[in-house]
Amino acid sequence: MIQVGVVGYGTIGKRVADAVVAQRDMEIVGVAKTSPNFEAEAAVSKGFDLYAAIEERRELFDEAGIPVAGDLDDLVSTADVIVDATPSGIGAQNREVYEAHDTPAIYQGGEDADVADTSFNARANFEDAVGADHVRVVSCNTTGLSRLLAPLREEYGVEKSRVTLVRRGGDPGQTGRGPIDDILPDPVSLPSHHGPDVKTIFPDIDIDTLGLKVPATLMHMHSVNVTLESDADAEEVRELLAEESRLFLIPEYAGIDGAGKLKQFALDAGRSRGDIWENCIWGESIAVRGNDLYLFQAIHQESDVVPENVDAIRAITDSASKAESIATTNETLGMGLGRTFER
């Protein structure tokens, strides 16, 4: 069993911990938090050993009556691998702790790419992370774009990608985020950071990205235009993408016209927290004009990187092949929303 420690038990960390528990080849040895909040209480109630991420703040846990098993050094020394799910910039600060214990670590997309030996997307470049010491799982949007572009590159070749990202203002629990009643170019200058981030997965790809931020919390939306290098038609592309295990092609008859109904569908399907690990692509939006492909996809920013973190654990520990890991992760998490509509 791979012994996994999770540093940062917030939006991503708590989901990764639950996903690790579902695996047959790994287990959680502890999670680290900086403050004794409701998520710390939830971690203890689930039976996870809780560690104080900042030694000087350990007394806050004592005052709150929340038991801790030790500090960050204790957790890192116990784990075979660390998943660092801390806010942007903190993972880079934590790296020296992981190195001091010779413990490999997985970081999130909020960190700069140079924090790690390689950026990671299971579908696109699993092998690059095998046996690495430091791996960065790319952001939710880059994960979604990498999953989409990988099969297109393999089947048709990609001459140019242009993506407009309509981004949620904040996650449901981020009460300090916005905008509240506005639509913001984010950033105003081009490109947004997403294109350069995709190039950490596909260094040779030609991609331009633009970003908008809107007063919503549910999901991101992508308007995608890809100029293909060879001929394709819309139905062929639908069939190609439908074969991808982490792409969900929404059938027209489902009546799912936006992020709200997607979340409702996920909850009705029994998904914990209403999580949607897959890209959600509207099948009828797929169109081809000449060599230009167009489509809309929605990305659940709180959860689509979770299966990627699980696969990164196997890659960094060299404990399974790409195909084996993806298949196991998909099975244990119950991925495949599209199966609901299969006859």
Instruction: Quote the CA–CA distance of 44 and 35 in Å, as a whole number.
Output: 13
Question: What number is the average pLDDT over the span 125-141?
Answer: 98
pLDDT digits (tens, 9 = 90+) for 144-171: 999 999 999 999 999 999 999 999 998 8
pLDDT range class, residue 239, cuts 50, 70, 90: very high
Predicted confidence at residue 343, as pLDDT, reads 52
Q: What is the pLDDT of residues 74-90, one digit of tens each?
A: 999 999 999 999 999 99
pLDDT at position 342 is 66
Residue 337 has a pLDDT of: 84
Q: What mean pLDDT do residues 36-59 have? A: 96
Residue-range domains of the chain with CATH: 2-138+305-333 (3.40.50.720), 141-304 (3.30.360.10)
- b/e code 77-98 from CB counts within 10 Å (16+ = b): ebbbbbbbbbeeebbbebbebb
- Active site annotation includes 280: no
Q: Is 256 annotated as a binding residue?
A: no
Is 139 annotated as contributing to ligand binding?
yes
CB atoms within 10 A of CB 275: 19
Residue 181: burial class (beta carbons within 10 Å; 0-12, 13-18, 19+): exposed
CA–CA separation, 80 and 103 (whole Å): 6
328 annotated as belonging to a binding site for a ligand: no
- Is 110 annotated to bind ligand? yes
> Is 227 labelled as part of a ligand binding site?
no
What confidence category does residue 173 fall into, taking pLDDT thresholds of 50, 70 and 90?
confident
Q: What is the dihedral of CA 245, 168, 272, 333, to 10 degrees?
A: 20
User: What does the pLDDT read at residue 341?
Assistant: 73
Average pLDDT over residues 182-204: 96
pLDDT value for 268: 96
Averaged pLDDT score across all residues of the chain: 96
* pLDDT of 339 higher than 90: no
Q: Is the pLDDT of residue 340 over 80?
A: no
- Mean pLDDT, residues 194-219 taken together: 97
Quickly state the pLDDT bin for 133 (edges 50, 70, 90): very high
Tell me, what's the pLDDT at 159? 98
Query: In this structure, what token pair is assigned to residue 143?
Result: 């994960």
Give the pLDDT of residue 336.
87
Per the annotation, does 258 bind a ligand? no
* Residue percentage of the chain with pLDDT more than 70: 99
Q: Output the pLDDT for position 263.
A: 97
Q: Which of 2, 52, 85, 140 is catalytic?
A: 140
- Which amino acid is residue 240, in one-letter code? L
For residues 37 and 56, is the Cβ–Cβ distance under 8 A? no
Evaluate whether 241 touches 283 at the Cβ level (below 8 Å).
Answer: no
Per DSSP, the residues of 137-197 read EPPHHHHHHHHHHHHHHHHT-EEEEEEEEEEESS-TT-TT---SS--EESSSSSS-THHHH
What is the arithmetic mean of pLDDT over 94-111?
Answer: 98
